[in-house]
Structure 1
Amino acid sequence: MPIKIAQASRLVAAKELAQVKEDLKSGAIDIVIGTHALLAKTVNFGRLGLLVIDEEQHFGVTHKERIKRMREDVHVLTLSATPIPRTLQLALSGVRELSLITTPPLDRLAVRTYISPFDPVIVRDALRRERYRGGQSFYVAPRISDLDEVAEFLREAVPELTFARATGQMPPGELEDVMSAFYDGRYDILLSTAIVESGLDLPNANTLIVHRADVFGLAQLYQLRGRVGRSKTRAYAYFTIPV
């Protein structure tokens, strides 16, 4: 079918993004995939009929108001594994229609989750075990300021493993290069902030270490755990807390 698909996000060049906005206004684009940028006042849709919102919990009040104005003549489908209380209340009270996906994919194994005080031996063995079975690991810290401390630990505990950093403060091009390299298997560990909590599908990464899990919210931890166990391989999640 002759369907024109476009993308709108901070990773798209300014000139290309301007063209996307023009095509949306004229109705030349059939499907556009993007971030919060699509809800900006400068974006106008010529023939919008369906709005699909993934990871709804990440959208703030301003974005919700924009969506509310669009709802008047547009079908809206929202998706979330951790819905915010207001959305959950509207669904359970019958104001919104609700559908649940309760069946996991075929052969999918549950993620084994451990919560314990930080133990360098357990963390080291978990990272090595994942590497020796041919997989990769996520190591997530709550703050950018924590990354240097964790990086030093990795150099001392698992010097044979390679790792790369990823944070939201990195230039878009550099961040994309790091994520692509990790996806291609050039690094054993991705050391990052909570930027990885959604939008990633890396079947080969099946061990997750969360540094200072007590700093994260319950919904964040649930989302982070969802980064592993996306294949037929048994996945492990370690939520560490201060000793």
Structure 2
Amino acid sequence: MVKKEDLVIGSFYVNSRYGICIYMGIKDFVGQLKHCFMFKDNRGYYVSDGELNGFYKYGNVGNNPPKLDSLISKISWRRKKQKSMAEARKQAKELLEIYKNRANTKGFAFSKDTPLQRQFEHEVPFTLSPGQFRCIMEIKRDMESDKPMDRLLCGDVGFGKTELAMRAVFKAVQNRKQSIVLAPAKILAHQHYVDFVERFKNYNIKIGLLTSKRNKERAQLLKDIANGNIDIIIGTQNVVSKCVKYHDIGLMVIDEEQKLGVATKDKIKAISANVDVLSMSGTPIPRTLNLTKLHIRDISVIDTPPANKKAPMTESYPWDNDKIKYVIERELNRGGQIFLVDNNINELYALRDYIEKLVPGIKIGIVHGKMRQNEIDDTMEYMLDKKIDLLLASTVIEVGITVKNANTMIIFNSQMLGMSQLHQLRGRIGRSNNNIQSYCILTYPKNKKLEPTAKERLKIMCENSYLGSGFKISERNADLKGFGEIIGLKQSGHITNVGMDYYINMLTQRIKEEV
């Protein structure tokens, strides 16, 4: 239900008794100040703070605002409400069927931590944050149960999700189970492979990177996976393809779950019925948020940042040569490096020439998704070795790139990107945890009138630039996108009839009834 501090004048709300209305602000009503909600035919409904029970936020309306309901005749609202309740009852049964099947499936109960597990965990040169510690305990509790884990690990970019995943994987390997680490992009899968090899180097644990290349090395790797000679298998959607036969899977780690397509998720379901699944996300999709709201899916939130991590400063303004030159030189003067993102690959090389004229002597590298992996690796190595001042890239770098010396991010045509992408890109900076101030600049073309939703996205990004803002951005993103998925299928008019929040309330009640 809505709180008084969440009320916004001009926004749509839903009253459970009367239907859809617009909030008009605080008005005088018979000598008292009350909240005014306007229904059909300009009829006002006045309530005090204590009478807001039964009001729900409607959600984003886009270009199709809903029709207001009548305070006088409730026939239309009752009809819409009954149809939505029927749909909620149907979906409640579907949801419970999916998750009861998993709950009733017997999984593998991993052992308690071994001395070797504790040794592995003590090797890192830092102490877990309180949020990390709580989350890893929740993950281990699930793994040590004989019920298959289905847990979402939500933590902002740079909050240490990967270290927790590594500890879970180590636990699985200690129990002689194979682990899959699935990433949505090749560049992230490669980064994970490098990181896992380094982290596990003191142990006799075999790690394989499964690529799409058809060669002798891949054929041998597939044999080794089937024979149980590979403990940790890392890759993109290839790891769930039919050609991969696993010896004994115990754990699947899914990174950046929100970026996976429906086909990949269906393949995951096919092989993970009795396997522990740990999904990770910095900005969970609306469907995932809805499942956690319904208490159908377990969620662990890393809500405390690492020590000495400073929030980035985020600004949004039209591209201005003098400002951009200043931002670049400010970073270079303190010995740092810069990311400049333009998701139009065809513009990258012209933009490089432009920046070279703007800042003479600057050393620029280019990375994009159409390059070969070895070309990307070479360029990234130059960046890590500080042989490049500025990396000009497409959004291919939004996941899997860690350059601790890069603390300025400039995004060209930022109005074209979604909030999840913008947040992930912003997460590429400020990763050194040495209390250095990082800067994210969201630019858009001069003299361009932004679409209302694009303008709102940039506003939300600037307002939510604090450490741990990813979850809030996901919620705001769900509001902006409006009525998306609940259990994986696009909804018809049932949600638009009553609004997302009230529909979630209906669904929750129907689930309680079914249980």
TM-score bin, normalised by smaller chain? over 0.9
Quote the residue 1:7 is aligned against.
Answer: 209
Residue 37 of structure 1 aligns to a residue whose secondary structure is: helix
1:63-104 superposed Cα distances (whole Å, 9 cap, x missing partner): 000111122110000000111221221122111100001111
Quote the residue 1:183 is aligned against.
Answer: 384
With over 3 angstroms needed to count, the CA separation of the structure-2 counterparts of 1:210 and 1:76, relative to structure 1, is same
Decide whether the 8 Å contact of 2:338 with 2:390 is kept in 1.
Answer: yes
Quote the residue 1:146 is aligned against.
Answer: 347
Quote the residue 1:241 is aligned against.
Answer: 444
Q: Which amino acid aligns with 1:134?
A: G
Matched, 1:196 2:397: yes
Trace 1:8-47 onto structure 2 (pairs within 5 A): 8-9=210-211, 14-47=215-248
User: Cα offset for 1:26?
Assistant: 1.2
Residue 305 of structure 2 aligns to a residue whose secondary structure is: coil
Residue 209 of structure 1 aligns to a residue whose secondary structure is: strand
Matched, 1:214 2:415: yes
Q: TM-score, normalised by structure 1?
A: 0.95
Quote the residue 2:261 is aligned against.
Answer: 60
* C-alpha distance in structure 2 between counterparts of 1:146 and 1:217, whole Å: 20
* C-alpha distance in structure 1 between counterparts of 2:343 and 2:375, whole Å: 21
Matched, 1:135 2:336: yes
Matched, 1:105 2:318: no
Quote the residue 2:361 is aligned against.
Answer: 160
Q: Which amino acid aligns with 1:9?
A: T
Decide whether the 8 Å contact of 2:256 with 2:282 is kept in 1.
Answer: yes
Residue 249 of structure 2 aligns to a residue whose secondary structure is: coil
User: Cα offset for 1:186?
Assistant: 0.7
Which deviates more, 145-154 or 188-197? 145-154
Decide whether the 8 Å contact of 2:412 with 2:444 is kept in 1.
Answer: yes
1:178-226 superposed Cα distances (whole Å, 9 cap, x missing partner): 1111111110000010000011111101000000000111110011000
* C-alpha distance in structure 2 between counterparts of 1:66 and 1:110, whole Å: 38
Matched, 1:72 2:261: no
User: Cα offset for 1:23?
Assistant: 1.1
From 81, 91, 94, the counterpart of 2:292: 91
How many corresponding residue pairs? 242
- Structure 1, unpaired ranges of 5+: none
User: Cα offset for 1:152?
Assistant: 2.3
* C-alpha distance in structure 2 between counterparts of 1:79 and 1:206, whole Å: 24
Larger C-alpha radius of gyration, 1 or 2?
2
* C-alpha distance in structure 2 between counterparts of 1:108 and 1:9, whole Å: 34
User: Cα offset for 1:174?
Assistant: 1.2
* C-alpha distance in structure 1 between counterparts of 2:216 and 2:439, whole Å: 43
* C-alpha distance in structure 2 between counterparts of 1:205 and 1:86, whole Å: 33
- Structure 2, unpaired ranges of 5+: 1-202, 447-515
Structure 1 runs, 4 residues or longer, greater than 3 Å off: none
User: Cα offset for 1:13?
Assistant: 7.7
Q: Which amino acid aligns with 2:297?
A: R
RMSD between superposed Cα atoms in Å? 1.4
Q: Which amino acid aligns with 2:204?
A: P
* C-alpha distance in structure 1 between counterparts of 2:421 and 2:241, whole Å: 26
Decide whether the 8 Å contact of 2:383 with 2:403 is kept in 1.
Answer: no
Residue 76 of structure 1 aligns to a residue whose secondary structure is: strand
Residue 146 of structure 1 aligns to a residue whose secondary structure is: helix
1:103-145 superposed Cα distances (whole Å, 9 cap, x missing partner): 1110100000000111111111111111111111000002102
* C-alpha distance in structure 2 between counterparts of 1:131 and 1:207, whole Å: 10
Q: Which amino acid aligns with 2:425?
A: L
Residue 100 of structure 1 aligns to a residue whose secondary structure is: strand
Matched, 1:125 2:320: no
Residue 29 of structure 1 aligns to a residue whose secondary structure is: coil
Quote the residue 1:48 is aligned against.
Answer: 249
* C-alpha distance in structure 1 between counterparts of 2:340 and 2:215, whole Å: 33
User: Cα offset for 1:9?
Assistant: 2.9
With over 3 angstroms needed to count, the CA separation of the structure-2 counterparts of 1:176 and 1:14, relative to structure 1, is farther
* C-alpha distance in structure 2 between counterparts of 1:48 and 1:223, whole Å: 30
Residue 302 of structure 2 aligns to a residue whose secondary structure is: coil
